[in-house]
Amino acid sequence: MEKIKSNCIVPSSAYSVPKSMIKKYDTLNRKIPEVGDLIFGEVFELGHHSSIESRSARLHTINIGTRAIFVYGNRYAPDQFEGLVPDKFNDYVDLFSRGGVVGKVVSQNQMLGVSTKIRQLGYVCNEDGEVINTRDFVLLKPTVNTRKKPGAKLVLCVGTSMNSGKTKAAAACCYAITSMGKHVRAAKITGTASLKDILLMNDCGAEHIADFTYFGQPSTYKLELKQLLAMFNDFDMKYGNNAENYLVIEFADGIFQRETAMLLKSEEVRSRVSKLIFCAPDSTAVYGGINRLKEEFGLEPDAISGICSSSPLAMREIQSFTEIPIIQSMEKDFKKIFSIIK
Closest CA to 70 of 22, 113, 2: 22
Question: What's the pLDDT at 146?
Answer: 87
Name beta bridge partners: 147: none
- Whether 331 has a pLDDT exceeding 90, the answer reads no
Name the residue ranges covered by the structural domains of the chain: 2-133, 153-341
Q: What is the pLDDT of residues 131-183, one digit of tens each?
A: 999 999 999 999 888 888 899 999 999 999 999 999 999 999 999 999 999 99
Question: What's the pLDDT at 207?
Answer: 97
Residue 166 sits at φ, ψ, to 5 deg, of: -65, -45
Q: What is the pLDDT of residues 268-277, one digit of tens each?
A: 999 999 999 9
Amino acid at 132: I
Q: What is the pLDDT of residues 90-110, one digit of tens each?
A: 999 999 999 999 999 999 999
β-pairing, 116-125 with 92-95?
antiparallel
The whole-number average pLDDT for the span 64-70 is 98
Determine the Cα–Cα distance for residues 118 and 107; give it in Å rounded to an integer. Answer: 18
Question: What's the pLDDT at 251?
Answer: 98
pLDDT averaged over every residue in the chain = 96
Determine the Cα–Cα distance for residues 64 and 55; give it in Å rounded to an integer. Answer: 21
The whole-number average pLDDT for the span 44-51 is 97
Please, what CATH class does the domain formed by 153-341 belong to? alpha beta
Determine the Cα–Cα distance for residues 203 and 184; give it in Å rounded to an integer. Answer: 12
Dihedral angle, C-alpha 311, 316, 321, 325, nearest 10 °: 70
* Spatial contact of 124 and 4, defined as CB atoms under 8 Å apart: yes
Question: What's the pLDDT at 174?
Answer: 98
Q: What is the DSSP string of 73-105?
A: --EE-TTSEEEE--SS--SEEEE--TT-EEEEE
Q: What is the pLDDT of residues 243-300, one digit of tens each?
A: 999 999 999 999 999 999 999 999 999 999 999 999 999 999 999 999 999 999 999 9
